[in-house]
Structure 1
Amino acid sequence: MGPEIAELARTAGTTMVTLMAGQAWESAREGLVSLWQRFQPDRAEAVVGELDAARDDLLLAQRSGDTDTEAELAGEWQARIRRLLVARPEVADELRRILAELTPQLPDQRASVDVRLRAEVSGSGRAYQAGRDQHITER
């Protein structure tokens, strides 16, 4: 169940952080906190504080134009959720149910586009291609 847990945690972490800045945040927060209250009650209060702090960080980052914070927060929550799933595998079904309820509340994402990149380089030339963001630092 290793890859299954990792994928579920990735989806849940990304979904939660995506919803942090939106109107569905309260229901998303309640759903995630309920998991900790049921399966690791000793950690539930800390999770509430961590979620609130993460939301504050995300909103501040969005106002200041920081584009890296959202990915960092998603990674942090993916890891927390994965650890919960590893410790308590029975959480998986409940988490899937919560995600199914939250998915319609996700903001519209950009339409998926089929991107095909092709490059030919000769000599000492270089080609840099990306289907989305690309950051290159050369010295």
Structure 2
Amino acid sequence: MEAELAALAASGATTLVGLMVSETWTQARDRLARFFARGGDESAAEEELRVSRGELVAAREAGDEDAAADIEAAWRTRLRRALQADPTAVAELRSLLAEFEPDGGGAPAGTVRNSISGGTQYGPVLQGQQFSGLTFHSSAPEPEKGTTERE
């Protein structure tokens, strides 16, 4: 059981540190603060997470991978202790990890088939969800053979 808790704590710490520098941090922070407070002072847990995030961002901006690794190690230790102290925390942490997985929270994978019809597309066509930060550069369409361009 100890090895399982250590593995879960390591996974949790890696996810937590990843979330600290992601767009979903605000949502994750509130849930994690409740997890770490475990019925205690939630504002103290929020403050600890805020300070830790600030240190992590500064370490990454400075290229200090050792400091970033130390922050992750500290959270791994904190998670392992929380899991050892409260057996119900195991299920709660697993639920949190599943919710914040990069693949969309554990949604089942399925087969998707997309097709485009009914016209000419002169640029990229996207079908899906969760697009961000996309930039497309395209030129004017080539005239079809047998036609002339009019100005």
2:99 to 98, 101, 105: 101
- Output one character per residue of 1:49-103: Cα deviation in whole Å (capped at 9) or x when no partner: 1110010001111222212122111100011111111110111111101100111
Larger radius of gyration: 2
Q: Distance in 2 between matches of 1:80 and 1:44?
A: 15
| Identical columns (%) | 37
Kindly tell me: are residues 47 and 15 of structure 1, through their superposed partners in 2, closer, same or farther at Cα, counting changes over 3 Å? same
- Consecutive unaligned residues of structure 2, counting only runs of 5 or more, are 105-151
1:55 aligns with 2:56: no
Q: Distance in 2 between matches of 1:9 and 1:15?
A: 10
| 2:15 paired residue number | 15
Which is richer in helix?
A: 1
Q: Distance in 2 between matches of 1:66 and 1:76?
A: 16
The TM-score, its normalising length taken from structure 2, stands at 0.63
Tell me how large the CA RMSD over aligned residues is: 1.7
Count of aligned residue pairs for this structure pair: 104
Q: Distance in 1 between matches of 2:18 and 2:54?
A: 13
- Consecutive unaligned residues of structure 1, counting only runs of 5 or more, are 107-139
Runs of 4+ in 1 over 3 A off after TM superposition: none
What SS does the corresponding residue of 2:100 show, helix, strand or coil? helix
| 1:81 paired residue number | 79
Residue 105 of structure 1, CA deviation: 6.3
